[in-house]
């Protein structure tokens, strides 16, 4: 996973998680994953979605339900804003509702 300038300041702290999504070659499907500050795999899944932000929002949701992270890093500002405003896409909402 990539490391942003902001996340470098947090990488030695506990309860830091990085979430990311990548689009499959098959249309409308994303792989999501999360790792901790030591790059240990925490969770992964495949979700359906049309836009990259949907995958990123789903990654944030997966981190939220599967960890006790205090700091979650994601590379999509739009996904972070949508999640903070409780306006996430369907796949992210479904992950949260199933927990």
- Residue spans of the domains in the chain: they are 5-98
pLDDT digits (tens, 9 = 90+) for 53-99: 999 999 999 999 988 888 898 888 999 999 889 888 888 989 888 87
Mean pLDDT of the chain: 86
- What is the rounded CA–CA span in Å between residue 97 and residue 76? 22
For the segment(s) 5-98, the CATH number from 3.30.420.10, 3.40.640.10, 1.10.3720.10, 3.50.50.60 is: 3.30.420.10
* pLDDT value of residue 98: 83
Q: Whose CA is closest to 41, among 1, 93, 3? A: 1
Confidence (pTM) = 0.83
Per-residue pLDDT band at 29 (split at 50, 70, 90): very high
Helix (H, G, I), strand (E, B) or coil at 43: strand
* pLDDT value of residue 12: 66
Residues paired with residue 73 on neighbouring β-strands, in sequence order: 18
Give the up-direction half-sphere exposure of residue 15: CA atoms within 13 A in the CB hemisphere. Answer: 6
Contacts of 87 by beta carbon, 8 Å cutoff, 6+ apart? none
- What is the rounded CA–CA span in Å between residue 15 and residue 47? 25
């Amino acid at each position: 996973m990539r490391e942003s300038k902001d996340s470098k300041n947090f990488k030695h702290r506990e309860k830091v998680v990085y979430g990311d999504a990548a689009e499959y070659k098959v249309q409308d499907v994303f792989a999501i994953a999360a790792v901790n500050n030591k790059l240990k795999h925490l969770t992964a899944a495949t979700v359906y979605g049309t836009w990259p932000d949907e995958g990123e929002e789903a990654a944030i949701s997966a981190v939220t339900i599967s960890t006790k992270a205090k700091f979650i890093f994601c590379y999509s500002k739009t996904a972070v804003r949508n999640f903070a405003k409780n306006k996430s896409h369907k796949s992210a909402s479904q992950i949260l509702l199933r927990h």
